[in-house]
Structure 1
Amino acid sequence: MNNRNPASLRIGLLGAGRVASQLGPALAAAGHQVVFVWNRTVPAAKTLAAQLPGTQALTTLASPLPLADVYLLAVPDAAVASLLASTPWPAGGLVAHLAGALSLAVFASQPTVHGGVFYPLQTFSPGRAVDWSTVPLCIEATDSAAEATLLALARSLSQHVRLLSSAQRLKLHVAAVFANNFTNHLLGIADALLTEANLPAALLAPLVRETVDKALANPPFAVQTGPAVRRDAPTLAAHQAALAAHPAWKALYEQLTASIQTQL
């Protein structure tokens, strides 16, 4: 592991999916050299590598791997352990996964490498560029040298870098699922209901923006509004009746209503 100037860190990028396809260019723009890109789907690795200056696409992870200061595992959580076990890492190499819910303990089976976590708290979608300077980057490592390298790398990309334990990061990841994934799902339900009524989705935009702005400026439970808070039984019943054609959504409505009322 080489703690050189972070502007010249050599990066091995394993993965070419949603995160890697945005992280690779960001690393290059920050002055790092992405030495190689590997992906289980070779064309995807070649496509990403072609966007990065001086980067080769690896078709296999054969020994010896190209030397890098940091090997970043931008792969699905479930693939990290098997990738760690099957890859011929150079002794003393720094390997970091990008998973929110995966403990640092996954590196226990690889005593010859320095292990770490480089978790970007953001949602990544094709066609939507991410401003990495605003993305919280959560760091954890098996030792102080690995921690220092990952912190330097993170600070070269983002203004929001934190050291978090595995337990803290897991809670953060659960919170992120509620704030992002579940919220998006609920917005999808709202959009479908508007479509059924031949109403434009844009009708909800001012309400959604105000809701998010208010929740970010205050403790969200303290500014909860709506018929559940008011215990408005006639309105709640009318809503449930309107959802009769969607029993799963009706059940979700009832569960969320009950959850809101337990916070009163």
Structure 2
Amino acid sequence: MEKPAYKIALLGAGNVAWHLAPALEKAGHEIVYVYSRTLANAEALAQNLKAAQATDQPDFSQTSADLYIMAVKDSALPELLQAAVFPENSLVAHTSGTLPLMVFEPYKNIRGAVFYPLQTFSKNTPVSFRNIPFCLETTDENAMLLLQKTAGSLSEQVYKVNSEERKILHLAAVFACNFTNHLFGISAEILQQNHLRFEMLQPLVEQTVQKAFSQNPFSVQTGPAIRHDENTIQTQLQFLQTNPTYQQIYELLTRSIQQKS
């Protein structure tokens, strides 16, 4: 795919923007503005870019950009969208996994779009965009072409995904990523409290993930729940008696596994 250079303004200076901005520059695009309601945050990101101007004013009426990317929290986006001023017919895309394209419906002077990278981002954890799926949506054909070229300059996985499909993808991602990470945290806490190393689980976790993506995950389930090993289950529940929340999680997941067996 052809990879033309675009002028891009980023609204947001959080985890997504922190990784997306330098990746876009590396792909040949120009980040012209970085907005954050806290100027220091915008400046911190802009300092890592070639020539981006930092601002805490969401008035872009006198700016010129091919694409305005709103990389902010879902809860902050409606308020920012209401406050922001864009040049007529600007292409404005959000990066949310859950907010529908319809969030742009009241704003007839802009072309709304979705530019959603399906990945978890933390500021201090490097990511490679090459294999990150980008889910794109817009009703404007020319806008879709620009989005595809922009995403294609970053990743080999670019998809047209409508709002309903994206909502389902995000739900699945919550189970696969957020809930799984929380379970990792529980595992690490149990081990650390008992003077054992979390790193000992790494080969087990890697093998589990590998199997899950090479076969049906339910078909390769292992452990005491799938074996209906009640002695082990009760022993482990007893161990968790000082933490009722962890007990409930253990019981709920055990029942779910057994219902699928």
TM-score, scaled to structure 2: 0.97
Displacement of 1:63: 5.3
Aligned to 1:227: 224
Aligned to 1:248: 245
* SS of residue paired to 1:53: coil
Q: Partners of 1:191 and 1:210 in 2: how far apart?
A: 18
Q: Partners of 1:139 and 1:64 in 2: how far apart?
A: 25
Q: Partners of 2:128 and 2:43 in 1: how far apart?
A: 24
Structure 1 position 103 matched with structure 2 position 100 = yes
Aligned AA for 2:14? Answer: G
Structure 1 position 160 matched with structure 2 position 157 = yes
Question: What is the 5 A alignment of 1:111-126?
Answer: 111-126=108-123
Q: Partners of 1:141 and 1:216 in 2: how far apart?
A: 30
Equivalent of 2:130, from 129, 133, 137? Answer: 133
Aligned to 2:54: 57
Equivalent of 2:197, from 185, 196, 200? Answer: 200
Question: What is the 5 A alignment of 1:1-16?
Answer: 6-16=3-13
Q: Deviations over 1:138-176 (max 9, x none)?
A: 100122111111111100110111110111101100111
- Extract structure 1 runs of 4+ deviating beyond 3 A: none
Q: Partners of 1:102 and 1:154 in 2: how far apart?
A: 19
Displacement of 1:206: 1.1
* SS of residue paired to 2:179: helix
Structure 1 position 185 matched with structure 2 position 190 = no
Aligned AA for 2:152? Answer: R
Equivalent of 1:28, from 14, 25, 29? Answer: 25
Q: Partners of 1:164 and 1:174 in 2: how far apart?
A: 14
Q: Partners of 1:176 and 1:57 in 2: how far apart?
A: 32
Aligned AA for 2:238? Answer: A
Q: Deviations over 1:110-157 (max 9, x none)?
A: 111111000001111122111111111110012211111111110011
Displacement of 1:59: 2.8
Equivalent of 1:75, from 62, 72, 95? Answer: 72
Aligned to 1:42: 39
Is the 2:4–2:149 contact (alpha carbons within 8 Å) kept by the matching residues of 1? no
* SS of residue paired to 1:7: coil
Structure 2 unaligned segments of length 5 or more: list them: none
Displacement of 1:6: 4.7
Q: Partners of 2:67 and 2:119 in 1: how far apart?
A: 21
Q: Percent identity?
A: 44
Is the 2:218–2:260 contact (alpha carbons within 8 Å) kept by the matching residues of 1? yes
Is the 1:7–1:30 contact (alpha carbons within 8 Å) kept by the matching residues of 2? no
Distance 1:38 1:107, change over 3 A: same
Aligned pair count reads: 260
Is the 1:65–1:88 contact (alpha carbons within 8 Å) kept by the matching residues of 2? no
TM-score, scaled to structure 1: 0.96
Aligned AA for 1:96? Answer: A
Which stretch of structure 1 is more off in the superposition, 13-22 or 53-62?
53-62
Structure 1 unaligned segments of length 5 or more: list them: none
Aligned to 2:168: 171
Q: Partners of 1:65 and 1:210 in 2: how far apart?
A: 53
